[in-house]
Structure 1
Amino acid sequence: MKDKLAEKRNITPAKAVEIMRKNGIEIDEKKAAEVLDLMYFLAKLIVNQNFKT
């Protein structure tokens, strides 16, 4: 499943760490990768539920 989720990713874990640090959240790259996995999964789920028949 992880390979399928990695198809179209524009934000790397390093970039996520940088963005979160700017907003006062300290996180390492491993945790950032987990957060990104969840966010991409939820985004795909929402699109499928709301825009596909």
Structure 2
Amino acid sequence: METGTKEKRKITSADAVAILKKSGVEIDEKKAGEVLDMMYFLAKLIVNQNFKT
């Protein structure tokens, strides 16, 4: 999922893989990148709907 902008993100795909591995979730970097894209998109959507008028 591409959100249309490439803002700087603090969590990389490799970081996400390492974090998820600690919780017992096995995922490759490509899928982790897709999950991060979705999470950033949802976070932006929630902020825009709830805090911007």
TM-score over 0.5 for the alignment?
yes
* Larger relative helix fraction: 1
SS, match of residue 19 in structure 1: helix
Q: Partner residue of 1:30?
A: 30
Letter in 1 for 2:37: D
Q: How many residues are matched?
A: 52
Q: For structure 2, which runs of at least 5 residues remain unmatched after alignment?
A: none
* Runs of 4+ in structure 1 over 4 Å off: none
Q: Percent identity?
A: 71
Residue of structure 1 equivalent to 2:13:
13
Gaps of 5+ in 1: none
TM (normalized to structure 1)?
A: 0.91
Shift of 1:44: 0.3
